[in-house]
Homo-oligomer: A and B are copies of this chain.
Amino acid sequence: MKPYVQMDKKELKAELASLMQEYKKFQAKELSLDMSRGKPCIEQLDLSMGMMDVLSSSVDLTCEDGTDCRNYGVLSGIHEAKVLIGDMMENHPDNIIIYGNSSLNVMYDTLSRAFTHGIMGNTPWCKLDEVKFLCPSPGYDRHFAMTEYFGIKMIPVPMTSEGPDMDMVEKLVAEDETIKGIWCVPKYSNPQGYSYSDETVRRFARLKPKASDFRIFWDNAYGVHHLYDDKQDYLIEILAECKRAGNPDLVYKFASTSKITFPGSGIAALATSPNNLEDIQKQLKYATIGHDKVNQLRHVRFFGDIHNLTEHMRKHANILRPKFEAVEEIFEKNLGGLEIGEWTKPRGGYFISFESMEGCAKEIVSRAKKAGVTMTTAGATWPYGKDPKDTNIRVAPTYPSLDDLKLAAELFTLCVRIVSLEKLI
């Protein structure tokens, strides 16, 4: 089929009429499908059921160093968990704090402490007239929601397939002391699935922020979440690169096993420099006596080592890859050549990002909803929920079954075509 822009009014109208018939057929099916959130599917959760067997009443819950995991203590996490998660994050165990079940909560906690007590002796952010964060966009809606909640002014920075626009990042952080942080999902980014290029990571490590309490919030949520064995993205390890660049304290790096074992019952971690660790731990001790060591031990006993975790991620990939490919295939089949949208083809992570014609995203999501398919709210991938061109839609293919997903993708592309036609007419 030729691009819609090359069609005349009559052709466009005929096409729209025909598609509306299809749309009505979809509506008649009374679907209830969800492509809105990055949730693992049941088959993925089943991969970790063995974790429920590794501890029992006949198993010793003692760490290698003799710590009884059942009792109080060990603020920064048990050593063997730091080794496992360190291997996963590509960081030394000594640079890691193991937290509770949610890396989002670790980020919140980090922000919150910066507000109440300041970073490394700097003025608490709550005492400042203005605090700003750079927000590579589109990005993760929960990052933005949390940032807005704290009253931080968000400045969108354009994303490219290489990462954020580094010219803009470098310029802004160097000249504005009220810019205190930047949100990064550096690998298989949310929602585009882009991984930062070597050049981008190198430039991040060499930032010269005006604010001494500026930190890069490096949310490596999808560090080991590949879709392919043979086509994987590699990321320069940011802590090591910062150290090499003479900027050791620039980064807070976050990760968790939420999408490795069980979301909500995994373990989260922060990796950062010795100075930052000291600053955090001397404060963290007021907030808790320690996190759930039994669950840390459970993860260690289940995986044993990073090799088994890698094999485990291969099983996740085998479940997810067909889903991503099915969506991409349907997008190509139904939208290819029409020039009314573009989509990413990530090698990992949890999302496909769709860019519609300008001013169409909201209407596409609304139309899909009316036929029973829930997408992430249009705009959610931008600070304040405001996508300036109304083009970005996050597609989350992981949770639905393959059949449901195909149906949802068919409907979605149909909605894209209808809304684009309406726009052109």
A289 partner residues in chain B, CB cutoff 8 A: 102, 104, 142, 263-264
The residue that A291 contacts in the complex, of B49, B115, B124, B264, with Cβ under 8 A, is: B264
Q: Does A157 have its Cβ within 8 Å of any Cβ on chain B?
A: no
A259 and chain B: residue at smallest CB distance: B72
Q: How far is the CB of A75 from chain B (nearest CB, A)?
A: 10
Interface SS of chain A: loop
Contact B287 A264 (CB under 8 A): no
Q: Taking the complex as formed, is A386 at the interface, i.e. its CB lies under 8 A from any CB of chain B?
A: no
Task: Pick the residue among B70, B145, B290, B294 that contacts A286 (CB under 8 A).
Answer: B145
Indicate if the CB atoms of A57 and B52 lie closer than 8 Å. Answer: yes
Q: Which of A34-42, A216-224, A326-334, A367-375 contacts B (4 or more CB under 8 A)?
A: A34-42
Contacts of A59 in B (CB 8 A): 52
* A112 part of interface (Cβ distance < 8 Å): yes
Q: Across the interface, do B287 and A108 meet the contact criterion of CB distance under 8 Å?
A: yes
A6: interface (CB < 8 Å): no
The winner among A50, A126, A292 for most chain B CB atoms within 10 A is A292
Closest to A297 in B: B265
Contact B105 A71 (CB under 8 A): no
Provide the bound-state CA to CA distance between A392 and B56, in Å.
42
Q: Which residues of B contact A70 (CB under 8 A)?
A: 45, 48, 262-265
- Residue-wise, chain A 380-407 has the 8 Å CB interface mask toward B (1 for contact) of 0000000000000000000000000000
Within 8 A of B (CB), among A155-193: none
A68 proximity list for chain B (CB < 8 A): 42, 45
Is A101 in contact with chain B by the CB < 8 A criterion? yes
A73 contacts the other chain (Cβ, under 8 Å)?
yes
How many Å lie between the Cα of A61 and that of B104 in the bound state? 24
Contact of A265 among B40, B52, B69, B150 (CB under 8 A): B69
A37 touches B72 (CB 8 A): yes
- A291 and B258 CA atoms in complex are apart in Å by 12
Q: How many residues of A contact B (CB 8 A)?
A: 57
Instruction: Please indicate the chain B residues that have their CB under 8 angstroms from the CB of A127 in the complex.
Output: 126
**B71→A264 contact, CB < 8 A:** yes
What B residues does A283 contact at CB under 8 A? 149
Q: Mask for A103-146, Cβ within 8 A of B = 1, else 0?
A: 01100110011011100000010110000000000000010011
B291:A71 contact, CB within 8 angstroms: no
Are B49's CB and A52's CB within 8 A? no
B104 adjacent to A288 (CB under 8 Å)? yes
Would A295 and B42 count as touching, CB distance under 8 A? no
Within 8 A of B (CB), among A249-291: 258, 262-265, 283, 286-291
The complex places the Cα of A191 from the Cα of B219 at a distance, in Å, of: 42
C-alpha spacing A57/B56, complex, angstroms: 12
A108 & B295 in contact (Cβ 8 Å cutoff): no
Nearest B-chain residue to A49, judged by Cβ? B57
Interface residue? A55 (CB, 8 A): yes
Residues of B within 8 A of A112 (CB): 112-113, 116, 287
**Complex Cα gap A240–B239 (Å):** 52
- Which residues of chain B are near A116, meaning CB under 8 Å? 112, 115-116, 126, 150
Complex Cα spacing A220 to B124, Å:
32
**Contact A39:B72 (CB < 8 A) given known A50-B57, A126-B124, A126-B127:** yes
* Chain B residues closer than 8 Å to A57, beta-carbon distance: 49-50, 52-53
Question: Could you list 26 examples of A-B contacts with CB < 8 Å?
Answer: A45-B68, A48-B70, A52-B55, A52-B56, A52-B59, A70-B262, A70-B263, A71-B262, A72-B263, A72-B264, A100-B291, A102-B288, A102-B290, A104-B287, A105-B287, A112-B112, A112-B116, A115-B115, A115-B116, A116-B150, A124-B126, A126-B126, A142-B289, A149-B286, A265-B294, A265-B295
7 further A-B pairs in the complex, CB-CB below 8 A; given A100-B292, A105-B287, A264-B291: A37-B72, A45-B70, A70-B263, A101-B291, A115-B116, A265-B294, A295-B295
